[in-house]
A = this chain, B = another copy of it.
Amino acid sequence: MKNKVKVIIAGPRGRMGSEAVHLANNTEHFELVAVVDHKHDGKLLSDLEGFHTITNVPIYSDLEKCLQMVNADVLIDLTTPEFGMKHTKTALDYNVRPVVGTTGFTKSDLAELEQICREKELGCIIAPNFAIGAVLMMKFSQMAAKYFQDVEIIEMHHDQKLDAPSGTAVKTAEMISAVRESKKQGHPNEKETLPGARGADYTGMHIHSVRLPGLVAHQQVLFGSEGQTLTIRHDSYNRGSFMSGVKVAVETVMKINTFVYGLENILE
């Protein structure tokens, strides 16, 4: 890559945002040119705690003002749902390609953004989940489900998690259901001597939720057919796991001229 990708980050003090700042700063072919933070207009990023060594990066409280002053290629938006749509449209307006990790976009939002991208022939990537390993696990599971009719999902999290199954497990089951016919698995006459043993039923496949102190966020998808099993497993240990997805999204958004929703659609 000859020229560095010039990056603006909105939301630099959030959990994801601060990781993204360090990513942009430490990646050779990226250049962090500005950040947008509504609390610290006019300061430098090096004035903020945790960023003392990152010099020469101005802070703007307003994205539009920032885009008028700074020449950029990509906006990484890791703010909150209320700003996501506005920031995305503003960036496209200034011909800057958005990579957006906030949620809360409506169907009509997505349709509107797709239309803008088509007219301006600009890339734009919106991804509710940047954990590239988790996204690949779901994608591979969907692919494997075409060849293995029987599948069970075991997701494992720390014991402070409130809901079971996890969002990722349900998303995985949905993606698998989209390609396989509903099938009631297990022996037709199987019997639970302790209720719940066989887990949750989702169109005939079974989902099991393990909760233990010590665990972080893990999931395995098990496929079985005669004489063999295929297992796809993702282990997430900390928030750093999202950054490889952000990096791929920034690199990809520079090469495409269309609107993409979901990281799975840019992973080949």
Contact = CB atoms under 8 A, between A and B. Distances in A.
Interface of A: 131-134, 136-137, 140, 143-144, 146-148, 150-152, 154, 156, 159-165, 170, 185-187, 189-202, 206-216, 222-244, 248, 267-268
B230 A133 contact: yes
Given A136-B147, A152-B211, A197-B165, A233 B230 contact: yes
For the complex formed by this chain, how many copies does it contain in all? 4
A186 B210 CA distance: 9
B210 A208 contact: yes
A165 B152 contact: no
Contact of A193 (B133, B165, B216): B165
27 contacts: A132-B148, A133-B228, A133-B229, A140-B140, A140-B143, A143-B267, A146-B267, A147-B244, A159-B185, A160-B187, A164-B191, A164-B193, A164-B194, A164-B198, A185-B212, A199-B209, A206-B210, A208-B210, A212-B229, A214-B235, A214-B237, A227-B239, A227-B240, A227-B243, A228-B235, A230-B235, A233-B233
